[in-house]
Amino acid sequence: MSLIDFLILLLIAGVCGAIGQSIAGFSRGGCLVSIAIGFIGALIGSRIAGALGLPEWLTVNIDGRPFPILWSIIGATLFTVVIGLLTRGRSDPL
């Protein structure tokens, strides 16, 4: 995977994570957190789609590897909701 392919993958994961956070209505962190949530959302969403026997819609091939955009957004939303529910009552130390 070239540097350009890796940067494109990070950009797509960041956008998917940011969309998932905005749908969930809970945002914690900045750009790097959105990228991480996008990747985690892709893993969660793909597992859910595989378990339910659903096809992968809206995939982008980056260097021959598919990245499921729709399932990444759905997984990021679910992951953000769970994180929001677990940390809702805690106050920030700052």
The residue-averaged pLDDT of 65-91 equals 85
Instruction: Read off the pTM.
Output: 0.82
**41-65 burial by CB neighbour count: b if 16+ within 10 A, else e?**
bbebbbeebeeeeeeeeebeebeee
pLDDT digits (tens, 9 = 90+) for 16-66: 989 989 988 877 778 888 889 988 988 898 899 889 998 888 888 888 888
Domain segments of the chain as ranges: 3-86
Q: Which residues contact 78 (CB under 8 A, 6 or more apart)?
A: 41, 44, 45, 48
pLDDT at residue 5 tops 60: yes
